[in-house]
Amino acid sequence: MNAEPDLSTTYLGLELKNPIIVGAGPLGDCRETVIALEQAGAAALVMHSLFEEQLHLEMSGREAHLEAHGESFGEATSYFPAAYEYTFKPERYLEHLRWLKKSVGIPIIASLNGTTPGGWTLYAEMLQDAGADALELNFYYPAIRVDESAAEVEKVLLDTITDVRSVISLPLAVKLSPFYTSLGHVARRAVSAGADGLVLFNRFYQPDIDPEKMETVSTLRLSSSNDLLLRLRWLAALRDKVDASLACTGGIHQPIDVIKSVLAGADAVQVVSSLLKHGPEHIEILLKKIRSWFQEHYYDSVHQLKGAMSMRHCPEPAAYERGNYLKIVQGWKI
């Protein structure tokens, strides 16, 4: 066995002691949990998002909320959470951010979650002033309208990034969905609009249908390692094509998932589902096993591994393209 491997990495210009970031979600809400996460070895934490919808409510009451969504396809605004249902009111969010900055040593990444440019993005500046080390902008847009073109959807994304960028000097990560007609092109334009990093990918939570009650049912199914493959492909494709940090989110459960993501090109990974399942201590187990893997394979550092299996560096880049599909569909014999 060789010496203790160096797991440090740089993400959004932040020096992280290892690549494991706690992703946006409820884990950052509870003070005790955050301390346990830091003790278990988390390298950074992304806070639960502040949502555009709640910021509209905060700014000018219910009317603004209706207005913001009045145009959208069949969106019944009564279906949205009321202001009190959001985990943190904006003021409490800023307070929690200040507490986090005072109480833990790891970088804290605040999160805004929305789908349109405009006044609500000014909250980015408040997050910066409250001490966030970086900001993550989650553009969670299901794009379900039939009268909206791909170009229009992309323009709204880019305008939103431009708005946020214009009010902060903090590093900015943009969390994307994989459902763009030309994702590589969108990624590049997001970086040109001001993103310092891309977070791949949002998991869209699909509503289920209850045929007995004739109702839609909101379901939250946690991810599994199966979710990772889509991310690996795009990390590998984008690693050498965009001048930005890359983080993987979606499907990081096992130590090997972290290693594969770094090999594909991730600077860091974000973990939520597996921590919700196993608790903060799971980070300690991941890190211990990652260190052992590095030692067993005679690797010294994350830096050495990063992007070694990106499209540019892997022995068979066609595997990330149509070649993989042809091979798979021809290979199944009955």
Ligand X SMILES: Cc1cc2nc3c(=O)[nH]c(=O)nc-3n(C[C@H](O)[C@H](O)[C@H](O)COP(=O)(O)O)c2cc1C
User: Measured between alpha carbons, how far is 281 from 252 in angstroms, rounded to an integer?
Assistant: 15
Report the nearest approach of ligand X to the CB of residue 112 (Å). Answer: 9
Smaller CB separation from ligand X, 138 or 310:
138
Report the nearest approach of ligand X to the CB of residue 199 (Å). Answer: 7
Smaller CB separation from ligand X, 245 or 249:
249
Report the nearest approach of ligand X to the CB of residue 21 (Å). Answer: 10
Smaller CB separation from ligand X, 9 or 54:
54
Asked whether 28 and 47 are in contact (CB, 8 A), the reply is yes
Asked whether 146 and 137 are in contact (CB, 8 A), the reply is no
Report the nearest approach of ligand X to the CB of residue 332 (Å). Answer: 28
The alpha carbon torsion through 299, 301, 304, 306 (nearest 10 deg) reads 120
Query: Would residue 282 be called left, alpha or beta, if left means φ above 0 and alpha means ψ between -120 and 50 degrees?
Result: alpha
Exposure class string for 141-164: b at 16+ Cβ within 10 A, else e: bebeeeeeeeeebbebbbebbebb
Report the nearest approach of ligand X to the CB of residue 275 (Å). Answer: 8
Asked whether 196 and 12 are in contact (CB, 8 A), the reply is yes
- Cβ neighbours, 10 Å, residue 65: 22
Token digits for 164? Answer: 């946020």
Smaller CB separation from ligand X, 223 or 310:
223
Report the nearest approach of ligand X to the CB of residue 189 (Å). Answer: 20
Displacement of CA 35 from its chain's centroid (Å): 21
Exposure class string for 248-277: b at 16+ Cβ within 10 A, else e: bbbbbbbbebbbbbbbbbbbbbbbbbbbee
> What residues make contact with ligand X under the rule CB under 6 A?
23-26, 48-49, 111, 113, 138, 175, 203, 220, 222-223, 227, 249-252, 271-273
Token digits for 85? Answer: 């249902």
Report the nearest approach of ligand X to the CB of residue 149 (Å). Answer: 25
Smaller CB separation from ligand X, 188 or 203:
203
Smaller CB separation from ligand X, 93 or 320:
93
Closest residue by Cα to residue 19 from 243, 297, 294 = 294
The alpha carbon torsion through 259, 265, 268, 272 (nearest 10 deg) reads -70
Asked whether 226 and 257 are in contact (CB, 8 A), the reply is no
Smaller CB separation from ligand X, 9 or 113:
113
Report the nearest approach of ligand X to the CB of residue 326 (Å). Answer: 29
Displacement of CA 81 from its chain's centroid (Å): 22
Residue 6 DSSP symbol: B
Report the nearest approach of ligand X to the CB of residue 273 (Å). Answer: 3
Smaller CB separation from ligand X, 9 or 270:
270
Smaller CB separation from ligand X, 201 or 320:
201
Asked whether 18 and 266 are in contact (CB, 8 A), the reply is no
